[in-house]
Structure 1
Amino acid sequence: MVHINVLDPSASPLDYYGYELRRYREASGLTQKQLGAIISYTGSLIGQIETARKLPTSDFSERADIALGTGGLLSRLLPLVLRSQLPAWFQQVAELEARAIEIYTFQTHMVHGLLQTSGYARAVLGAVDSANLEDRTAVRLARQRILEKDSPPVLWTILSEAALRQEIGGEAVMREQLESLLSHENKPNVNIQVLPYGVGAHAGLQGSFTLYRFSGDPAIVYTEGYGMGHPTANPDIVKDCSLYYDHLQAAALSLRDSAELIRQVMEERYGEQQR
């Protein structure tokens, strides 16, 4: 007799996803292998997802939804599943991102997670710990779906010039990352400014921070340390950080000049001639 691992669908979003996948598959009269043949995945992978040992992907969810006639249930569950896989201390931040109508962030040395490419994210996440790297990368990239909503938040990012020049993942990864930043150049809800080295001392010397604004709720400031996050709605801190951000925007290059600097660094530092 084949041992079937019985999942508690209330244990976690991943367990619930696996439970529903198995329920729809069995209702369709399909084995794991048969479903795999239909959606071009292995039966082994389907078994791992059904037993909450492997994270599903967007492509897998869409194919399974069509094959099993779920009405899009698995695809709707996927963002919740992926968000639940974030570190516990960061899950609240992901919820803030998902609810915010405006996000203002200043980054001192690295591209913000909402704008990272897969190669860049993989290099950042794997710098110290390479365990489950592909799943952790997928989870980080899933946060970017908020920018594709029907009513996406306005994202305003100020990057220190150091973020453009700090070579993370190698030249090819950096070139792809800078090209990705430039791809947002004409999107009204994504605005990228660069704070050049030439400004000298500036309002962001204390470090990176992000300001979330909501419809009807108080704004929240988020800062991050090693393995921990610090969100606060303290009105004095929010007021101070809002003022700091105004000063950073005033000191940063314009959107047009920022794009030009990104393009310049991309060609001079990571261009084909360099390789």
Structure 2
Amino acid sequence: MTHINALDPGASPLDYYGYELRRYREAAGLTQRQLGDIINYTGSLVGQIETARKLPTPAFSERSDAALGTGGSLTRLLELVMRSQLPAWFQQVAELEARAIQICTFQTHMIHGLLQTEGYVRAVLGALDQTDLDDRTAVRLARQRIFEKEEPPVLWAILSEAALHQEIGGREVMRGQLAHLLSFDGNPRINIQVLPFSAGAHAGLTGSFTLFRFARDPEILYTEGYGSGHPTANPDTVKDCSLRYDHLQAAALSLKDSADLIRRVMEERYGEHRDPDGGPVA
């Protein structure tokens, strides 16, 4: 455990964040409790974040920046902090997401992480392990901040229709998740297509994959296994999967028809059921 008087800012991005928070707070002449009162958090939480025992949130960072006049330094640090908390094998993927100008992904049975709601994330991450679930959920959701950049990447996501029917987290969570997908309708930078069951045999039967495209660097293909990720820039492999993606996109429904199918599944499968007397049934 990090001692309150012996922070090592070089130990990790989280330690560096805590070190900087304490430095700004002390320069402002505030105690932990006084800062907590100003930003509407407990002094204990301020202390835990300063000693790298608790992850900061975007709201905490923004309020602290405003209270301490940091010019947004803590909020800018937050992206590095969150990325450092991802599983080691996935950290490179998060860096690819942050650098890419275009992300093209095909998902066979789940909604992609960049499109997941908090409830969906909690259900996925907590399926076998509830440890530190709040922090792990926050870390995954933080990846979505790439869409808040001045020039965010363009995302093309093809979801198998199975991903809409796989009930993760219960009906209410799925209803919220599908509504979230529909919220991107009309957003030219986040495009969602559904590969319907009626497509039959298709070019993605070997599994999910993601292609990252950059302004100047070679394209990278990413596939995933249990507890491991496999990025590659091998030209032949990338070329093969680019062709597969083109065929999947051709077989998928249009953006409009995809939204219509998502809406229909949301209403028919996850909508509120009623008994014969008109009362809602869980």
After TM superposition, the score normalised by the length of structure 2 is 0.95
Matches within 5 A, 1:227-238: 227-238=227-238
1:104 is matched with which residue? 104
- Which whole-Å deviations, capped at 9, do the CAs of 1:243-262 have from their partners, x for residues lacking one? 00011011111111000000
Asked whether 1:27 is paired with 2:22, we answer: no
2:8 is matched with which residue? 8
1:5 deviates by: 3.5
1:17 is matched with which residue? 17
After TM superposition, the score normalised by the length of structure 1 is 0.98
Instruction: Give me the whole-angstrom Cα distance separating, in 1, the residues matched to 2:74 and 2:84.
Output: 15
Please, what is the CA RMSD of the aligned residues? Answer: 0.9
1:216 is matched with which residue? 216
1:50 is matched with which residue? 50
Instruction: Give me the whole-angstrom Cα distance separating, in 1, the residues matched to 2:235 and 2:268.
Output: 43
- Which whole-Å deviations, capped at 9, do the CAs of 1:134-169 have from their partners, x for residues lacking one? 101101011001112111111000000000000000
1:115 is matched with which residue? 115
1:4 deviates by: 3.0
2:124 is matched with which residue? 124
1:138 is matched with which residue? 138
Matches within 5 A, 1:1-275: 4-273=4-273, 275=282
Q: Flag structure 1 segments of 5+ consecutive residues without an equivalent.
A: none
1:24 deviates by: 1.0
Letter in 1 for 2:265: V
1:273 deviates by: 2.3
Q: Flag structure 2 segments of 5+ consecutive residues without an equivalent.
A: 275-281
Instruction: Give me the whole-angstrom Cα distance separating, in 1, the residues matched to 2:120 and 2:163.
Output: 12
Instruction: Give me the whole-angstrom Cα distance separating, in 2, the residues matched to 1:120 and 1:49.
Output: 26
Letter in 1 for 2:86: L
- Residue 15 of structure 2: SS of its match in structure 1? helix
Letter in 2 for 1:154: V
1:30 deviates by: 1.1
- Which whole-Å deviations, capped at 9, do the CAs of 1:48-87 have from their partners, x for residues lacking one? 0000000000100011111111111101100110011000
Instruction: Give me the whole-angstrom Cα distance separating, in 2, the residues matched to 1:12 and 1:203.
Output: 42
- Residue 201 of structure 1: SS of its match in structure 2? coil
Count of residues in correspondence between the two structures? 273
Letter in 2 for 1:13: P
- Residue 249 of structure 1: SS of its match in structure 2? helix
1:190 deviates by: 0.7
- Residue 55 of structure 2: SS of its match in structure 1? coil
Letter in 1 for 2:122: R
Letter in 2 for 1:256: K
Instruction: Give the 4+ runs in structure 1 shifted more than 3 A.
Output: none
Letter in 1 for 2:217: D
